[in-house]
Amino acid sequence: MRVACAQLNTVVGDLEGNTALVHEAVRAAQERGAMLVLTPELALTGYPPEDLLLRPSFGDASRTALEEIARDVTEGVAIVGFVEHDEDVHNSAAVLADGRIQAIYRKRFLPNYGVFDEARYFRAGSEPIVLEIDGARVGIAICEDIWYPAPVAAELAEARLDLIACISSSPYHLAKGSGRERMLQTRAYDSSAALAYCNQVGGQDDLVFDGRSAVIDAAGDLIARAPVFEESLLIADIPLDLAAGRRLREPLLRRLPVSAAYEPVVVETRPVATPSGEANVVAPMPSEAAELWAALVTGIRDYVGKNGFPGVILGLSGGIDSALTAALAVDALGPERVRGVAMPSVFTSGQSTEDAGVLADSLGIRLDVIPIAPVVDAFEGQLAEVFEGRPRDVAEENIQARVRGTLLMAISNKHGDMVLATGNKSEMSVGYSTIYGDMAGGFAPLRDVSKTWVYKLSSWRNLDAGREVIPQATIDRPPTAELRPDQRDSDSLPDYGVLDPILELYIEQDLPPAAIMERGYPPEAVERVAGLVDRAEYKRRQGPPGIKTTPRAFGRDRRMPITNRFGAR
């Protein structure tokens, strides 16, 4: 059987645009002779729709769009993800063939952890479904259904299928894709059935979807894979006789019960075109750094583009965080849509201003230079009476950061470009940032990227380009906020080689300080870092959204109370 996985970049709520994407993908797949076409989970509405699902009209509009598509599926079969509003709301997959809806499957496992809130919105389905398509037995799963060996996957094995069709919207984080692919291979092998997995691609607010759709044969071998972070129509010719042969050789399947629940729905369909074009292509996988770079570029491009901003603006300090953010933005949007602003103060070194200029020239972006000393002096003059009798401290330092934030937002208001905040996860974790200052902006691409990865990505980008996209002097220079004379990040924080592993253990693995100390990290540093993380929650809540790249990002992934007396223990 020739199967197509339509790896689409949908937009939440854009039913008209998403319907057009599905139409085009089904047409292209049929022209290449695909008997079965899969689209991503909730392809018609985009994923995740969140509280749009609480509007009955949203589900009704999804059904109307589905019926429109169904009328045009006159050859072969399409499985399309949609929101089903039937007294309650279901995350469903419709089977379209012969110009109509012939069956509907409702997702049974509703994830309700991390970034997922599906139990808030959907009623879980309760029944499996088996289709007979052109003589082949095909079962359907939706995303989370396939991640566990039982009960859904076990029932699919009991159904003695030739093919499992799984539609999905599985968001990206570092190293997730390879683990997901291994899981899919295990499900196919254990079920003695081929498995076609169609995943969403693109950015949606703080989530990015990597695609990486795949087709696996009944022996658990990968036979086709779509590229990461690219829209793609993956075509695979699946040998169905392999599934039948394995079932005869596997005694376990003979011991499984045969239930009337697995009686197939015979799908009435019409022949498709003779198969043509290349099939069973296995896209190569990029390195971890290349994949993370692609994730960040995708997140910036789609957040800016889907929200209608003409471009972006960001402060260029001469430091590595702003340099990396600018390089990512140029790859995402092109240099003509990226504007840099250098805002030197009396504490800004000549090296910083020079490095900002070198970076702007390297990237081909506009750079405006706006000295902020007169504005800072004016603020301090107005505050002199209120500050009288108190020594200079972080209050005066933060005036500089807030002046910069105000200038960037003013330029954004005047020209319409969105401000990119440039802070990284290490800084956000411990509150080493100025609320209403360098945290100001509409989007923070590095919000879930550690300082360690900031350095790795900067070096990788230069190596990949074969030139200094990001000046080597910027990479080599000790990190500093330059808010007071001779300031260094290390004055306030442990070395990033110590800080970042502690943060990973405390935030992403949720280990208590004592367990982190047992791994050999300095007790004083661990206690201090944990306390800083806890106290900075109020800041993070007021910061801009950013791209999830780790298993546990700040925001809806990690939800800690701001008012909290439990503390780190």
For residue range 22-79, list pLDDT tens digits in order. Answer: 999 999 999 999 999 999 999 999 999 999 999 999 999 999 999 999 999 999 999 9
* 245 and 308 fall within a common domain: no
Give 415 or 349, the one with higher predicted confidence: 415
Nearby residues of 53 by Cβ (< 8 Å), 6 or more positions away: 59, 83, 89, 121, 122
At residue 478, the pLDDT reads: 81
* 463 and 335 fall within a common domain: yes
Is residue 368's pLDDT more than 90? Answer: yes
At residue 479, the pLDDT reads: 72
Pairing between strand 214-216 and 194-199? antiparallel
What mean pLDDT value characterizes the chain? 92
C-beta of residue 175 within 8 angstroms of C-beta of residue 287: no
Strands (E), 365-479: 366-369, 418-419
User: From CA 529, how far away is CA 464, in angstroms rounded?
Assistant: 34
Which of 75, 84, 118, 143 does the annotation list as catalytic?
Answer: 143
For residue range 24-33, list pLDDT tens digits in order. Answer: 999 999 999 9
For residue range 284-307, list pLDDT tens digits in order. Answer: 999 999 999 999 999 999 999 999
User: From CA 142, how far away is CA 166, in angstroms rounded?
Assistant: 5
Residue 335 in domain: yes
Cis peptide bond prior to 151, omega within 30° of 0: yes
User: From CA 46, how far away is CA 124, in angstroms rounded?
Assistant: 19
At residue 377, the pLDDT reads: 92
Q: What's the mean pLDDT in 429-446?
A: 93
Torsion angles phi and psi, residue 560, rounded to 5: -105, 145
Residue 224 in domain: yes
C-beta of residue 6 within 8 angstroms of C-beta of residue 38: yes
At residue 247, the pLDDT reads: 74
For residue range 109-123, list pLDDT tens digits in order. Answer: 999 988 899 999 999
Which of 84, 107, 198, 425 does the annotation list as catalytic?
Answer: 107
Reported confidence tier of residue 94, pLDDT bands at 50, 70, 90: very high
* 446 and 330 fall within a common domain: yes
Residue 140 buriedness (CB in 10 A; 0-12 / 13-18 / 19+): buried
Nearby residues of 298 by Cβ (< 8 Å), 6 or more positions away: 201, 202, 203, 208, 229, 332
* 340 and 476 fall within a common domain: yes
User: From CA 526, how far away is CA 303, in angstroms rounded?
Assistant: 35
In Å, how far are 145, 280, 318 from 50, measured between CA atoms? 20, 35, 39
Residue 508 in domain: no
Is residue 562's pLDDT more than 90? Answer: no
User: From CA 45, how far away is CA 13, in angstroms rounded?
Assistant: 5
In Å, how far are 30, 448, 464, 484 from 332, measured between CA atoms? 32, 18, 16, 34
For residue range 381-393, list pLDDT tens digits in order. Answer: 999 999 999 999 8
> Considering the entire predicted model, what is its pTM?
0.92
Nearest-Å Rg of the Cα atoms of the chain is 26
User: From CA 53, how far away is CA 67, in angstroms rounded?
Assistant: 19
* Residue 107 designated active-site: yes
For residue range 193-202, list pLDDT tens digits in order. Answer: 999 999 999 9
User: From CA 107, how far away is CA 142, in angstroms rounded?
Assistant: 6
* 250 and 313 fall within a common domain: no
Reported confidence tier of residue 404, pLDDT bands at 50, 70, 90: very high
Residue 495 in domain: no
Which of 5, 41, 75, 482 does the annotation list as catalytic?
Answer: 41
Q: DSSP character for 98?
A: T
Residue 32 in domain: yes
At residue 483, the pLDDT reads: 62
C-beta of residue 93 within 8 angstroms of C-beta of residue 79: yes
At residue 5, the pLDDT reads: 98
User: From CA 312, how far away is CA 322, in angstroms rounded?
Assistant: 13
Give the number of domains in the chain. Answer: 2
For residue range 137-186, list pLDDT tens digits in order. Answer: 999 999 999 999 988 998 888 888 999 999 999 999 999 999 999 999 99
Residue 169 in domain: yes
User: From CA 196, how far away is CA 215, in angstroms rounded?
Assistant: 4
User: From CA 380, how far away is CA 446, in angstroms rounded?
Assistant: 31
User: From CA 246, how far away is CA 370, in angstroms rounded?
Assistant: 70
Written as one letter, the residue type at 54 is L
At residue 348, the pLDDT reads: 72
* 199 and 322 fall within a common domain: no
* 253 and 337 fall within a common domain: no
At residue 486, the pLDDT reads: 66
- Nearest by Cα to 122 from 159, 90, 85: 90
Residue 567 in domain: no
Nearby residues of 44 by Cβ (< 8 Å), 6 or more positions away: 10, 15, 18, 19, 22, 62, 65, 66, 69, 80, 81, 82, 83
Sheet holding 232-237, edge to edge: 100-106, 88-97, 77-86, 36-38, 2-7, 232-237
CATH number, domain with residue 379 = 3.40.50.620
CATH number, domain with residue 120 = 3.60.110.10
Residue numbers of the domain that contains 150: 2-266
For residue range 338-364, list pLDDT tens digits in order. Answer: 999 999 888 877 788 888 999 999 999
Using a pLDDT cut of 70, give the percent of the chain over it: 95
Token pair for residue 208?
A: 């990015």
For residue range 311-321, list pLDDT tens digits in order. Answer: 999 999 889 99
* 329 and 457 fall within a common domain: yes
User: From CA 529, how far away is CA 520, in angstroms rounded?
Assistant: 15
- Nearest by Cα to 408 from 421, 422, 397, 419: 419
CA angle 95, 96, 99 (to 5 degrees): 155
C-beta of residue 97 within 8 angstroms of C-beta of residue 77: yes
User: From CA 302, how far away is CA 367, in angstroms rounded?
Assistant: 24
Place of tokens 């129509």: 233
Token pair for residue 155?
A: 């029932």
* 204 and 340 fall within a common domain: no
Q: Which of 431, 464, 489 is the last residue of a domain?
A: 489
At residue 157, the pLDDT reads: 87
Reported confidence tier of residue 494, pLDDT bands at 50, 70, 90: confident
C-beta of residue 295 within 8 angstroms of C-beta of residue 302: no
Residue 243 in domain: yes
* 259 and 381 fall within a common domain: no
User: From CA 19, how far away is CA 43, in angstroms rounded?
Assistant: 8
* 383 and 328 fall within a common domain: yes
Is residue 518's pLDDT more than 60? Answer: yes
For residue range 238-287, list pLDDT tens digits in order. Answer: 998 887 777 777 766 666 666 666 888 899 988 888 988 898 999 999 99
Q: Which of 489, 522, 551 is the last residue of a domain?
A: 489
- Consecutive H or E run containing 85: strand 77-86
Q: Which of 445, 467, 489 is the last residue of a domain?
A: 489
* 245 and 350 fall within a common domain: no
Reported confidence tier of residue 99, pLDDT bands at 50, 70, 90: very high
Residue 542 buriedness (CB in 10 A; 0-12 / 13-18 / 19+): exposed
